[in-house]
Each structure stands twice: as C-alpha cells, then as structure tokens.
C-alpha cells in the first residue's frame, strides 16, 4: 500500500448510551455537507453497562464550535458533559479509524477490508484495505453502486467502455470490469494519493492496469478535466460517486462524455438533494431509469435520450474544462 502521509488529527470524545451508539451505525446525514466529515466510532466504556458507552469523532484538522455542537446533538444524554477535544499525534487517522471494519456483501460482491478476513465462495471477492482513500464498500453510496451494477448485469445490460469519475479506492471500476471483462475501463480521482492507492488495490486484486480491453486506465483529474478521459470517450457507462454539489456542476461535461443511449450511475447525494441533481441531468438529455435508496443515500441510474437533427448533442469540447476542484469520491 502507499505510505501514509501524516495529517493533523483531532479527536472529540463524549459519553453516550448504548442506544445512542447503535443509532449512529452507518453514515450520519448531518455531516454529509462537510468537505471533510468526521469518522465516528463508538465503544463500551464499562462492560455490561448500557449507559456507559463513548463516542469518539476523528477530524482532519481542529473541529470548530459548529462541528462540536452538531456532534453533541447526536448524544443527548451527554448534554451536561464537557466534550474532550484533543490533538492526536501525527498519524494516518483515516486508516486507523477504518481498521477492523466488517466485510460488506452487496449483490454478488463481497468486499474485505483486512487480509485475514476469509473470502466468500460464490461471490466476487475484493480486498480493499483501509487507507487514505474512501470507497471501502462500507458507505451506503459505494455499496449502493455495487448493487446497482450487479442488477444491471443480471438483467442483461452490456457495456464496452466504462468510466469511474472520482474512483477513490478503484473499487467501482474493478467491479464494473469483473461484470464486463472485455470492456475498456477508465478511472480517475482529483487526489493523486487515491490514484496511487487504486493502483495498489488493482494489483492486490488481480486487476490489470493499462489502456486496453479488460484493463483499468488510471488518471489524476478534477472531474473530466483530462485529455485522456476526453479522448477515450464516448462511454456507454459512466459512474460518479462523489457529492451533490460537484455532481450538479459536472453535469454538462459528464453527460457530454456519454454516448446516446448510454448510462450514468450517480451516488453520493442525500435524499433531499436528489431532485436538484436529477434536474441538472435532465437538462442535459438524461432520464431517470432506476432509483435505489439505502438509508438516506439514493443511487440513480440515468439513460441518455437519443436526439436527432439540430438537437443532437455536440461532441465534448475539451476547452470546456468540466472540473470540480476539491471533490473526490465518497
């Protein structure tokens, strides 16, 4: 794996009850709009005491008063307790916080986060170790995309040219290539570390890197702003598991990369953001073909409407940069 780079890590600790801890399982919508949401962990403070648990929130950078206030709303029982806010030694806090995650099964895919976890027979197994890139399968958006890809394959959909914009760990690109092994696959992320980690994950999972059929080509890019991403278009399947803001901003450039009749799978948005995201893509000639919600996180499958005559979409113009700085995958 890529060597970790130290970051400034802070931890906020609050007491909570077991019921409050269990309510925090999964991803918290309250933090979804933050550029760098905290990683939440709960544990028993006293064995067999349901009212003696703790909540630990790991932040990249010192949390402000608003973030701490929001955190307090998650554990009402600690209303009178002063939170413990402390800076941690320089270390790779994302990796540490993800160590020990349970394997995830989504559709035909089984995603392990630790080398010691056993593979599952009759599933497509991936090993995606905890790292500084997101997309280990734990987040509802990633598992929702895996399930959507699985359903598309089960109903007989076929693709020959796939792009995964904001790839994170590379998992969704790898999954698409396992489903359609003769396809070209392009994966990109704004974070060069994520691209390095994706390359490591590809080698660990026997996924070939390269520009040919059955291989994944990796690029560092903000959105679609890379000549190779443009040059490998048009795509018949494009996946973008990022956030609602960049999804809306990138709608023109992403849709221009997709051929008529092609498919876009979108994730990383909340339920209340779905209408705004859909509106941005409908303007670009997309229609909603399927929606699947996992908790507060929908996965959208869109299809590009064929057009004729003067309404026909023009080729992607590389001068229209199509970038969304500061955003990678979930």
Residue positions forming the annotated binding site for S-adenosyl-L-methionine: 142, 166, 189, 241
H or E segment and range at residue 262: strand 258-267
Distance in Å from the first CA to the final CA of the chain: 19
Which residues, listed in sequence order, are joined to residue 293 by a DSSP beta bridge? 298
Q: What is the dihedral of CA 16, 19, 24, 30, to 10 degrees?
A: -80
Give the DSSP letter of residue 7: B
Task: Note whether 226 and 271 are within 8 A (CB).
Answer: no
3-state secondary structure of 205: coil
Binding residues: 142, 166, 189, 241
Total Cβ atoms within 10 A of residue 211:
12
Give the C-alpha distances (Å, rounded to integers) separating 275 from 288, 291, 301.
11, 12, 14
């Amino acid at each position: 794996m890529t060597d970790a780079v130290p970051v400034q890590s802070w931890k906020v600790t609050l007491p909570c009850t077991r019921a409050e801890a269990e309510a925090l399982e999964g991803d918290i919508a309250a933090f979804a709009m933050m550029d760098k949401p905290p990683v939440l962990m709960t544990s028993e403070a006293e064995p067999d005491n349901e009212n003696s648990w703790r909540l630990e929130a790991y932040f990249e950078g010192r949390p402000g008063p608003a973030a701490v206030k929001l955190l307090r709303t998650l554990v009402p029982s600690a209303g009178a307790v002063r939170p413990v806010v402390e800076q941690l030694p320089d270390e790779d806090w994302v990796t540490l916080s993800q160590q020990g995650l349970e394997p995830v099964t989504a559709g035909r895919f089984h995603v392990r986060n630790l080398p010691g976890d056993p593979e599952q027979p009759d599933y497509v197994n991936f090993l995606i170790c905890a790292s500084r890139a997101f997309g280990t399968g734990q987040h509802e958006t990633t598992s929702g995309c895996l399930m959507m890809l699985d359903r598309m394959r089960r109903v007989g959909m076929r693709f020959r040219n796939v792009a995964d914009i904001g790839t994170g760990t590379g998992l969704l690109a790898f999954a698409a290539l396992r489903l359609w092994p003769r396809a070209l696959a392009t994966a990109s992320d704004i974070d060069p570390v994520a691209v390095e980690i994706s390359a490591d994950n590809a080698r660990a999972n026997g996924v070939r890197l390269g520009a040919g059929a059955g291989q994944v080509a990796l690029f560092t890019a903000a959105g679609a702003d890379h000549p190779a991403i443009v040059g490998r278009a048009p795509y018949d399947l494009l996946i973008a598991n990022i956030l609602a803001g960049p999804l809306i901003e990138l709608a023109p450039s992403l849709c221009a990369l997709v051929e008529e009749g092609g498919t876009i799978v979108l994730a990383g948005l909340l339920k209340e953001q779905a209408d705004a995201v859909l509106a941005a893509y409908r303007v670009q000639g997309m229609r909603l073909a399927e929606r699947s919600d996992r908790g507060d996180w929908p996965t959208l499958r869109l299809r590009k409407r064929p057009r004729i005559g003067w309404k026909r979409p023009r080729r992607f113009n590389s001068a229209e940069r199509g970038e969304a700085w500061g955003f990678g995958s979930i």
